Amino acid sequence: MRRGPNIILIIGVALFFSLLGKAHETTQSCVNALENLNRHIGRNFFETRRDFARYAEAFPATVLRDLSLMSPDGHWIDAGSGEGFAIQDFFNGKIFDVEAVLKNAQPSSWRPRRLHLDSKTLIESSKLLHGKRPGERGYVTGVTFKMERTPPQIDKLTVHTGQFFEDIPTHSFAPADVITDLYGVMSYSPRVDEGLRSYHQLLKEGGRAYVFIGDYLESPELSGSRRLVQHGIAGWDAPYAQSRVRKKNGQTVSLLEWTMDLPGFNARLEYNQVDPSPRFGVVPGIIQRHTLVLEKTNQQATIPHLRLLNADEGKPPLRIFEEVSE
């Protein structure tokens, strides 16, 4: 009988070290996931040469409207500007050919699919933009981790290179009317929460962040998409919508749902409609090319802290996060 307490003590100590070991393994796994994703981003194996016409095709027409109505003192931040061709085009005399965009808009050169764009807003915004001289178009800041060419030397244009967006202090930027994110920070970052806090701090009251999400398929069951088949998320062929967040209350939601539920933003989805081309294994139906619009509603936004648990090497990656204490 006297050995009972000793046995309980031994079991308790063993259990403690077992839990400690599991906690260490979990921490190490998170560290490895973070390092791997940062290494993946650092390779820069992405499309980085998008021009302004590609932005007009990818984003809803409200982006062009906001940019065209921006005052000379306004500010556009392009978070993930690649080689900076789109922000350079913004100051050119001819930003994009509206007729060519409306006639030839295709989201992929190897998979031709017809985009239905808001032609009225596109034409009106184009006229306003083309009617302004470079000095009348507001300020632009581009952010790119790696730029292979010399950044364009244009008045009112600043390009940050060599740092991840989340590592740049917000005081380095002027307040923004518009933030665009086309396969940028929100699509690749292992620190989505930090990026969103920066977006909220940088946006002026009523300013909008446009985060490109990707495609939603009306008939996904025979889509042939690796991501849809692998993860079984009905309709979404978009890693942002398929990435997951494990909340503190034990509930697991998509990263898209988690983002749209954050305080401090009026969140909504806008989309361009896409007609899929006939292709083996694809069910005819509407494809919606979505953008998440985050409009700043007030100065207070308590955004939960996230920890990256896992990420693949997709372009963009599928990620799994969990909410943690600060």
Q: Which residue has the higher pLDDT, 109 or 175?
A: 175
The SS3 call for residue 180 is strand
Q: What is the mean pLDDT of residues 126-143?
A: 93
Q: What is the mean pLDDT of residues 97-104?
A: 82
pLDDT at 231: 59
Q: Which of 39-53, 69-83, 119-133 has the lowest mean pLDDT?
A: 39-53
pLDDT class of 189 with cuts at 50, 70, 90: very high
* CA torsion angle 202 203 205 209 (round to 10): -160
pLDDT at 89: 94
pLDDT at 59: 94
Q: Which residue has the higher pLDDT, 78 or 217?
A: 78
What do you get for the CA distance between the two ends of the chain, in Å?
46
* % the chain with pLDDT above 90: 53
* % the chain with pLDDT above 70: 74
The Cα 177–Cα 192 span in angstroms is: 21
Residue 97 predicted with pLDDT over 70: yes
Q: Which of 33-42, 81-90, 180-189, 270-279 has the lowest mean pLDDT?
A: 33-42
pLDDT class of 16 with cuts at 50, 70, 90: low
The Cα 177–Cα 70 span in angstroms is: 8
Residue 26 predicted with pLDDT over 80: no
Q: What is the mean pLDDT of residues 177-194?
A: 95
pLDDT at 326: 76
Backbone φ, ψ for residue 132 (5° rounding): -100, 140
pLDDT at 91: 93
CA angle, 233 then 239 then 241, to 5°:
60
Q: What is the mean pLDDT of residues 97-120?
A: 73
- Structure-token pair, residue 147: 């730029």
Residue 82: closest CA among 41, 112, 137? 41
Q: How many residues does the chain have?
A: 326
pLDDT at 227: 60
pLDDT at 1: 47
Q: Where are the beta strands (DSSP E) in the chain?
A: 75-79, 114-116, 139-144, 157-161, 176-181, 203-217, 236-237, 244-246, 252-254, 265-275, 287-296, 305-311, 319-324
- Taken in order of first residue, the domains within the chain and their CATH numbers are 44-324 (3.40.50.150)
Q: Which of 46-50, 65-69, 214-218, 315-319 has the largest mean confidence?
A: 65-69
The DSSP result for 47-70, as a single string, is -----HHHHHHHS-HHHHHHHHT-
Each residue's pLDDT tens digit, 48-88: 789 999 899 899 999 999 999 999 999 999 998 999 999 99
Q: What is the mean pLDDT of residues 260-276?
A: 91
Q: Which of 191-205, 266-280, 295-309 has the lowest mean pLDDT?
A: 266-280
pLDDT class of 195 with cuts at 50, 70, 90: very high
Q: Which of 39-43, 61-65, 112-116, 143-147 has the largest mean confidence?
A: 61-65
Q: What is the mean pLDDT of residues 281-304?
A: 82
The Cα 155–Cα 254 span in angstroms is: 41
Q: Are 245 and 306 in contact (CB under 8 A)?
A: yes
pLDDT at 282: 54
pLDDT class of 184 with cuts at 50, 70, 90: very high
pLDDT class of 315 with cuts at 50, 70, 90: confident
The SS3 call for residue 125 is helix
Each residue's pLDDT tens digit, 148-179: 899 899 999 999 999 999 999 999 999 999 99
Q: What sign has the CA pseudo-torsion 283, 286, 290, 295? A: negative
The conformation of residue 317, written as its DSSP 8-state character, comes to P
